[in-house]
Amino acid sequence: MAFSVPLLTMDLLLDPCLLLLLAAALVAGPLLSAVAMWRRSRGRKRLYHRVVGTNFQMLLHFRQQYDYATNLSRRHRTFRILNSPFHSDVYTCDPAVVEHILRTNFQNYGKGTFNYGIMNDLLGDGIFAVDGAHWRHQRKLASHEFSTRALKDISGAVFKKNSVRLAQAVAEVADSNQAIDLQDWFVKSTMDSIFEVSFGTELNSLQGTNAETREFLRALDESTELINRRYIDPLWKVMRFINVGSAAVLKDNVRIIDDYIHRLIRSKIAQMSNQKVDKLDILSRFLNERPNDPENLTDRYLRDIILNFIIAGKDTTAGTLSWFIYLLCRHPPVEEKIFEEVKEAVGAKGGVSVEEFAANVTEESLGKMTYLHAAITETLRLYPAVPLDGKICFSDDSLPDGYDVKAGEFILYQPYAMGRMKYLWGEDAEIFRPERWLDADGNFCPESPFKFTAFQAGPRICLGKEFAYRQMKIFAAVLLRFFTFKLRDEEEAVHYKMTFTLFMNPGLNVHVFHR
């Protein structure tokens, strides 16, 4: 089923008790904030960041939550949001604090039972939900896979094949009055890529998928939004316990997701037993390792690993490519500069057809596309794939700014807000300007990962960073070599979805034209 009204809003509207609770909390918020700070400071010399709002205020601004937090961050580099009478969460845009929690004192910060409890229903024991032995085990497995030449070669070939399929679909509507939702097409294309790399399975989503796959994709997209809402919904545990509202929908969705992935695992096992698989996809490689680690690599554990990989690989690149094209539509000179660079980088071997051009996009030519790389990075600065992330403090700690956090408190760093802070990026912080990433000779100049946090940093830095850049650059190069894009409605305000990753809402509606 699709949402006609946000489920969290329905949960509130249909229950007068919840409405009364919300009203009372809004009135009591400032008083509780003062009481909480007094109790914490009474008889102590510990310092705590200022409380500037409540979780119920975040709930009221749910659809604009990242912009609401950005406005607060302009006044306070680090602040607290009260989520119960005597407990608050810490939000920060301070690179020194980010470095402290992600690297310097890494062992003291992690997902913790709080995050695990929220995400476990969907992500299980996947790498995005766990700490300790499970995290180290999956990190080791993933690190090995991403470092292999085989994955680099197979993924590059898959990306080029699917970029051609996307370009062919785009060509069919180019120069017409028909607008397309390019974000939806990006989602389908990147899903095709991640499925083939993960399972060795070709979906061909742009040509249409079977009913089971469509239901799986719907359940997955809906579930990520429902899980994300738990962070600001104080009643989610109650709803899960009695299995009503959004909690009941999530439970049904997870059953659909589990059934689908377990069918894929059983099918792959059968293929491997019959020696009809080339063992290049990630699932095959994990199954090949199972005899060496049978206690860990169970079907359930493989389900968790693969699902986390799918979410990371599908949504992040599709969302970023959508924001990238949107920004190019707003900045035509940047689009033209990328076109010239792409054409020159591939050279005469690029030919005149989409197929010829994609076949000649090599690692060497991609390396020459520094302005394209800068433009994608600039997109991630303003519209990071993961706009908000955080860790639980395991034991009392003092941060580099002189303030303290207590054991069990949630400290969140804000990639979305950080990209808009003038005290980090200068007066033009909110302007899309790829040149800020290039030196005078046009070479790419990376920033500190504790300032540009789109890929995390420290021991948990994204292992798929280069994997993601390769896919985005191939798709962007193929599309921009042959097409230009124009927004269907240039006056329409842009919004985002409240999911794990930053998608445009309702989509990216554009007209397409051949070059």
CB atoms closer than 10 angstroms to residue 483: 20
User: Is residue 21 pLDDT above 70, yes or no?
Assistant: no
Least confident of 235-249, 273-287, 313-327, 498-512: 273-287
CA 323 to chain CA centroid, nearest Å: 13
Tokens of residue 63, six digits? 């659809």
Q: What is the DSSP string of 20-31?
A: HHHHHHHHHHHH
pLDDT at 30 over 90: no
CA gap 496, 304 in Å, rounded: 27
Higher pLDDT, 404 or 17: 404
Cβ proximity of 47 and 404 under 8 Å: yes
Residue 505: how many other CB atoms lie within 10 Å = 13
- Among 390, 386, 423, residue whose Cα is nearest residue 409: 390
Reading the block at residue 467, the tokens are 């994997």
Give the least confident one: 39-43, 137-141, 288-292. Answer: 39-43
pLDDT at 213 over 60: yes
Given pLDDT bands bounded at 50, 70 and 90, which one contains residue 148?
confident
Q: What's the CA dihedral at 129, 266, 463, 508 to 10 degrees? A: -80
Q: Is the pLDDT confidence value at 276 over 80?
A: no
Give the confidence band of 12 by pLDDT, cuts at 50, 70, 90: very low
What mean pLDDT comes out for the span 230-239?
90
Average pLDDT over residues 200-224: 89
Share of the chain above pLDDT 90, in %: 69
Question: Hey, what amino acid is at 221?
Answer: D
Residue 23: which pLDDT band, with cuts at 50, 70 and 90?
low
pLDDT score of 177: 87
Q: Annotated binding site, which residues?
A: 462
pLDDT by residue (tens digit) across 411-456? 999 999 999 999 999 999 999 999 999 999 999 999 999 999 999 9
pLDDT at 141: 84
- State the binding site for heme: 462
When pLDDT is averaged across residues 219-240 and rounded to a whole number, the result is 91
Residues 338-344: contacts with CB within 8 Å, 24+ apart?
Answer: 338/369, 338/371, 338/372, 338/375, 338/476, 338/480, 339/480, 339/481, 339/515, 341/368, 341/369, 341/370, 341/371, 341/372, 342/369, 342/372, 342/476, 342/477, 342/480, 342/481, 343/481, 344/368
Directed axis angle between helix 299-330 and helix 282-289, to 10°? Answer: 160
Helix 182-199 × helix 465-482 angle, to 10°: 130
Q: What is the pTM of this model?
A: 0.88
Task: Using pLDDT thresholds of 50, 70 and 90, give the confidence band for residue 59.
Answer: confident
Fold of 7-514: Cytochrome p450 (1.10.630)
Q: Lowest mean pLDDT: which of 42-56, 91-105, 392-406?
A: 42-56
Q: Predicted confidence band at 284 (pLDDT cuts at 50, 70, 90)?
A: confident
Q: Is 295 exposed, middle or buried (0-12, 13-18, 19+ CB in 10 A)?
A: exposed
Distance linking the first and last C-alpha atoms of the chain: 40
Nearest C-alpha neighbor of 69 from the set 98, 84, 86, 89: 89
Q: Are 127 and 139 in contact (CB under 8 A)?
A: yes
